[in-house]
Chain A
């Protein structure tokens, strides 16, 4: 019963939502919206579980792990300050303490992490573009040509842009489409396995 009931619900919901996709009536759209509303409701209630998990794990680290204590205290204090500062809806207006902390601390910190990507691309490319095999050499050459597009080299740039456009719109796009088609088939096969109850690892296993 513990497994068969969820599997029954999954089968029923899967079949209904499959046919819903092909039926454009009001009733069908209502079912779709209703299911989406349920997802939102579940997400909101699950957030309480998430916050509880965060507090519990961080408190545990603060108490028992000296190496993690500092970070754990910073996490808890930061969370406490943000909760207090954003408690009232009025505090979400521009210029409030909550919004100032959000705009002038959190967003710059996030932007900093994102900007690390530029350096990581360079270091990953350095490792990836080693001409060890024929294919790796081809990759290196292609990457070199594509990167040259951004550098003004007069007449060479003009010629290069046609080559780059061809690389991006023919071999690159063809490979991308092949991956996307494979992904689509894989998604459908996984969905069928889930609907039929063959794949049940997401329920915790067999």
Chain B
């Protein structure tokens, strides 16, 4: 009987515990239910345009900020960009931009990446649809914007390089004009260069001393313009050395350079009528590594006691290591490079230096051919024109007019 009396008591207690717990739970959840999750407003005025001056695999998505940007609890932290190939298809998130940036470049030209289909790839001429959302710091996302479409197209001319193209066209015209003038027999005055005039004297000195000449083409590659300028000087020097019957040593750091240098020297010896003096072993490949190359060339200078050293081409940190060793051996040294950072070293350590453009002019000076002198004249006129352009730019920018600057500005990305 006592047990039967206990049953309602237990049921009542259990009911009481349940009610109390349920009430406590309700109190705990109450803030979540009552706290309103306020979605931020989406960005406005979404536009999709073709990315200019590209190969047709990119689109630019632009938008105006969400009205909630910088406001209270639903402040916007960034914008998510979604793309689909159908207006009502599945949209995939392509990227996120933080506030302050209202443009996103979407796309890729790589259809396959690491053996897998690249989801960012964009087909030329296909229509792509975009929706954007705003995101708060609490990661609450706004509603999607209405889909906006764009079609990536390839451009056949890079409009950002137009001023560059015009300048090149004018310069080429100038060069061609002076080549034509030279061809027609017009006498072109070219200012003398000390370094060039010293070349013959330096070769003569080596002849008198009966010692070889060292010609270093630098540590560039065969396709560098400075190296090509070096070949042209090497050809003229080799021809003289063949006439005077003294060897020219050309240790090189690249196999392609070796082949070209060998061919240049061989032909110079043939032109001089002394092919029998040509020795391929005087133009060896040494090493492709910069400082071992220095060690090898310095060793040649010291052991062979070269009377004249030429450094013509592209040089890096090895410039001073070579030139200073040459100076200690007592050789007369003529250098030329287009690297502004290495020019002070050459000026300090060698007897004559061809500064920058003079390296390119050397071939024309040495040959004396009117056809080669024409472009030199064009260079001088182009420099004068550049000075005028810069002076006008300086004046207009000082006054505050930017039209001159805008006229010459380029967008080559």
Residues of A within 8 A of B176 (CB): 192
> Quick one: given A25-B55, A26-B56, are A124 and B345 in contact (CB under 8 Å)?
yes
CB distance from A104 to the nearest CB of B (A): 16
> Quick one: given A50-B258, A181-B386, A188-B171, are A176 and B340 in contact (CB under 8 Å)?
yes
CB distance from B149 to the nearest CB of A (A): 22
Does any Cβ of A come within 8 Å of B181's Cβ?
no
Stretch at the interface among B67-75, B94-102, B128-136, B288-296: B288-296
Does any Cβ of B come within 8 Å of A141's Cβ?
no
> Quick one: given A43-B256, A50-B255, A188-B171, are A56 and B281 in contact (CB under 8 Å)?
yes
CB-contacts of B167-208 with A (<8 A):
168, 171-172, 175-176, 179
Cβ of B109 and Cβ of A180 under 8 Å apart? no
Does any Cβ of B come within 8 Å of A169's Cβ?
no
Residues of B within 8 A of A198 (CB): 179, 371-372, 375
Does any Cβ of B come within 8 Å of A191's Cβ?
yes
CB-contact partner of A53 in B56, B284, B303, B358, under 8 A: B284
**Contact flags (1/0) for B247-277 with A, using CB distance below 8 Å?**
0000000111011100110111001000000
Cβ of B225 and Cβ of A191 under 8 Å apart? yes
On chain B, the number of residues with a Cβ less than 8 Å from chain A's Cβ atoms is: 86
**Contact flags (1/0) for A100-124 with B, using CB distance below 8 Å?**
0000001001100110110011011
**Contact flags (1/0) for A44-55 with B, using CB distance below 8 Å?**
001111110110
Residues of A within 8 A of B320 (CB): 117, 120-121, 124
Does any Cβ of B come within 8 Å of A179's Cβ?
yes
Residues of B within 8 A of A194 (CB): 228
Does any Cβ of A come within 8 Å of B360's Cβ?
yes
Residues of A within 8 A of B168 (CB): 188
Nearest to A39 among chain B residues (CB) is: B223
> Quick one: given A53-B285, A56-B281, A198-B179, are A110 and B292 in contact (CB under 8 Å)?
yes
- Once bound together, how far apart are the Cα atoms of A76 and B291, in whole Å? 18
Cβ of B235 and Cβ of A186 under 8 Å apart? no
Residues of A within 8 A of B281 (CB): 56-57, 60
Cβ of A183 and Cβ of B267 under 8 Å apart? no
> Quick one: given A53-B258, A56-B281, A57-B284, are A204 and B263 in contact (CB under 8 Å)?
yes
> Quick one: given A46-B255, A181-B386, are A187 and B154 in contact (CB under 8 Å)?
no
- Once bound together, how far apart are the Cα atoms of A106 and B293, in whole Å? 13
CB distance from B160 to the nearest CB of A (A): 9
- Once bound together, how far apart are the Cα atoms of A28 and B376, in whole Å? 32
Residues of B within 8 A of A110 (CB): 289-292
CB distance from A50 to the nearest CB of B (A): 3
Stretch at the interface among B16-24, B29-37, B137-145, B348-356: B348-356
Does any Cβ of B come within 8 Å of A156's Cβ?
no
Does any Cβ of A come within 8 Å of B246's Cβ?
no
Nearest to B360 among chain A residues (CB) is: A186
> Quick one: given A25-B156, A67-B303, are A205 and B228 in contact (CB under 8 Å)?
no
CB distance from B347 to the nearest CB of A (A): 7
CB distance from A19 to the nearest CB of B (A): 10
Cβ of A190 and Cβ of B338 under 8 Å apart? no
- Once bound together, how far apart are the Cα atoms of A4 and B323, in whole Å? 39
Does any Cβ of A come within 8 Å of B103's Cβ?
no
CB distance from A9 to the nearest CB of B (A): 14
Residues of B within 8 A of A26 (CB): 55-57, 109, 124, 154
CB-contacts of A16-55 with B (<8 A):
21-26, 28-29, 39, 42-43, 46-51, 53-54
> Quick one: given A23-B158, A54-B284, are A202 and B357 in contact (CB under 8 Å)?
no
Residues of A within 8 A of B290 (CB): 110
Which residues of B pack against A, CB within 8 Å?
A: 53-57, 109, 124, 154-158, 161, 165, 168, 171-172, 175-176, 179, 223, 225, 228-229, 231-232, 234-236, 254-256, 258-260, 263-264, 266-268, 271, 280-281, 284-292, 294-295, 299, 303, 317, 320-321, 323-324, 327, 338, 340, 343, 345, 347-349, 355-361, 363, 371-372, 375-376, 378-379, 382-383, 386
* Beyond known contacts A25-B156, A179-B357, A205-B268: 6 more, CB 8 A cutoff: A106-B292, A110-B290, A121-B320, A185-B383, A199-B363, A205-B264
By Cβ-Cβ distance, the 8 closest A-B pairs, closest first, are A50-B255, A186-B360, A204-B267, A186-B357, A50-B285, A128-B348, A46-B255, A182-B357
A-B contacts, 8 of them at CB < 8 A, read A68-B303, A117-B321, A124-B323, A125-B348, A176-B340, A182-B379, A188-B175, A198-B375
Which residues of A pack against B, CB within 8 Å?
A: 21-26, 28-29, 39, 42-43, 46-51, 53-54, 56-57, 60, 67-68, 71, 106, 109-110, 113-114, 116-117, 120-121, 123-125, 127-128, 176, 179-183, 185-194, 196, 198-199, 201-206
